[in-house]
Amino acid sequence: RFNHARFIPPDAIFALTAEYLQDSHPQKVNLGQGTYRDGDGKPWVLPSVTRARETLSAQGLNHEYLPILGLQTFREATAEAVLGSELFAQQKSKLATCQSLSGTGALHLAGLLLRACQSPLPKIYIPEPTWSNHHQVFSSLGFPCESFKYYDHDTRDLDIESYYSTLKNAEPQSIVILHACAHNPTGCDPTKEQWREIAQLMKDRQLFPLFDAAYLGFNSGNYDEDAFAIRYFVGEMEMEAGICLSFAKNMGLYGKFRGYPPIWRAKRKRSPELIENAMIGERVGCFMLATKTSEAAVNTQSMLEMLQRSEVSNPPAFGAKIASQVMGTKELKEMWFTDMVTMSGRIRSMRKALYDHLLSFGAPGSWDHLIRQSGMFGFLGLSPEVVLKLKNEYHVYMAGNSRISIAGLNPSNVEYVARSITQCLKD
């Protein structure tokens, strides 16, 4: 039966991290995986999240099943945060929501629902370049995926004309993947004006917007600002839309707990429950569907319930409880917004520091694109040969397309990275 099974090479970014971990060079730098690091290069547990965990722990956590659609308070708080209170109040009865296994799980649920609702299967238009998993998620569900040019490698900017032209010529009823903000990997987003044009073109052509919203609040530090496109499509344009949310980046809930914040260390001995909680995985996301009628919302939600039941039965509770606590408590929500400003601010300052060092070392070429981009990533524009050389000779690790996670930079390594890039380019 399995004699003809194909070997699938490991995922490039996860394989790169494994290589980095094996490297014993003292100056090694990991700019591959998109995970936030603090100024000392350490994973950061958001203070708002720490506080939420303490509250939950004091309340006494249990390990019961959640409902199939996930934690109700989490689903509501998420929808309200994304749409803003006013639009949420207007749209509430027309929304279907389902907790998911982080952003990837939300995309997968979206694909399952769209596949069940549309026959023949619609095309999915995906920007090129994009997050490496988009094609895999949707092609594994059988969708025909078509890339369109999003980024111009010469101008090192968004190719808006190619974007518009794709939408004007797209097959009606198709689906388009839209990065809600902080496009991965290019860091180039449409302006508000361009978003308005994109929405109009999509509406005219009856295209379905599927927002991948993995970086809300993380881009600018302002959640409302980052949710502009979603709110515009749903609110102003009154369009149906799917929204796939992740709390990995903006709440730092990537996977499992990786270290105790200082406040916990003292308590650790006294509270075995804290240790137990710390071992629980917490990946959490949400799929939200904005429909046109309350009947469509009830029906699609019932379909999501059936699809979720057949996939994972019901989602894990811990991350949803944390996120719900953070978003549902006024004080913690304010702390969370401050945490997002801290993260996005540190990333911005490292972006600038890298840029300044590259200029001061006289790195060949222009680097303005680095400070034009925003979000977690910098798209350097280096050749695969230079990327390889940086890894092999300088122990600086980055994705093959020269995307770097700016969060991997800190005051102790940014100069080294800039010098290494400069030397590689001058050699």
Binding site for ligand PMP (CB under 6 A): 34, 102-104, 131, 179, 184, 212, 214, 246, 248, 285
How far apart CA 156 and CA 276 sit, in angstroms, is 47
Least CB distance from residue 184 to ligand PMP, whole Å?
Answer: 4
Kindly provide the residue ranges of all beta strands, DSSP E only, lying in 63-129, ordered along the sequence: 95-100, 124-128
Q: H-type helices in 93-236, by residue range?
A: 102-117, 133-140, 160-169, 192-204, 223-226, 228-231
Report DSSP letters for 199-254, one per residue.
HHHHHHTTPEEEEEES-TTTTTS-HHHHTHHHHIIIIIS---EEEEEE-TTTS--S
Q: How far is the CB of 127 from ligand PMP (least distance, A)?
A: 10
Nearest CA to 157 among 404, 391, 413, 379? 379
Shortest approach of ligand PMP to residue 244 CB, angstroms?
7
Q: Amino acid identity of 409?
A: L
Is the Cβ of residue 156 or residue 179 nearer to ligand PMP in the bound state? 179
User: Smaller CB distance to ligand PMP: residue 44 or 367?
Assistant: 44
Neighbour tally for 381: CB within 10 Å? 17
CB of 129 to ligand PMP, least distance (A): 11
* 174 vs 184, beta carbon nearer ligand PMP: 184
The minimum distance between CB 382 and ligand PMP, in angstroms, equals 20
Which lies closer to ligand PMP via its Cβ, residue 185 or residue 420? 185
Residue closer to ligand PMP, measured from CB, 159 or 212: 212
In the complex with ligand PMP, the residue whose CB is nearer, 151 or 367, is: 151
* Under 8 Å between Cβ of 239 and 230: no
Q: How far is the CB of 246 from ligand PMP (least distance, A)?
A: 3
Q: Are 397 and 32 in contact (CB under 8 A)?
A: yes
- What is the smallest separation between the CB atom of 34 and ligand PMP, expressed in angstroms? 5
- Write the CB contacts of 3 (distance below 8 Å, at least 6 apart in sequence): none
Residue corresponding to tokens 């991350």: 319
User: Which amino acid appears at position 416 of this protein?
Assistant: Y
Instruction: Tell me whether residue 104 or residue 277 sits nearer to ligand PMP (CB atom).
Output: 104
Give the whole-angstrom CA distance, residue 201 versus residue 194. Answer: 11
Q: Which two tokens stand for residue 88?
A: 């949420």
Q: Of all helices (H) and strands (E), which one includes residue 86?
A: helix 85-91
**Cα–Cα distance between 131 and 172 in angstroms, integer?**
24
C-alpha of 398 from chain center: 18
Q: How far is the CB of 426 from ligand PMP (least distance, A)?
A: 32
Q: Which is nearer to ligand PMP, 251 or 335 (CB)?
A: 251
Q: How far is the CB of 398 from ligand PMP (least distance, A)?
A: 15
Q: Under a CB-based contact definition with an 8 Å cutoff, are residues 199 and 237 in contact?
A: yes
Residue 351 CB, nearest approach to ligand PMP (Å): 17
Cα separation, 4 vs 7, whole angstroms: 9
User: Is the Cβ of residue 286 or residue 417 nearer to ligand PMP in the bound state?
Assistant: 286
Q: Considering only CA atoms, which of 201, 150, 213 is closest in space to residue 174?
A: 201
- Decide whether 327 or 353 has the Cβ nearer to ligand PMP: 327
> What is the helix (H) or strand (E) element at residue 310, kind and residue range?
helix 294-311
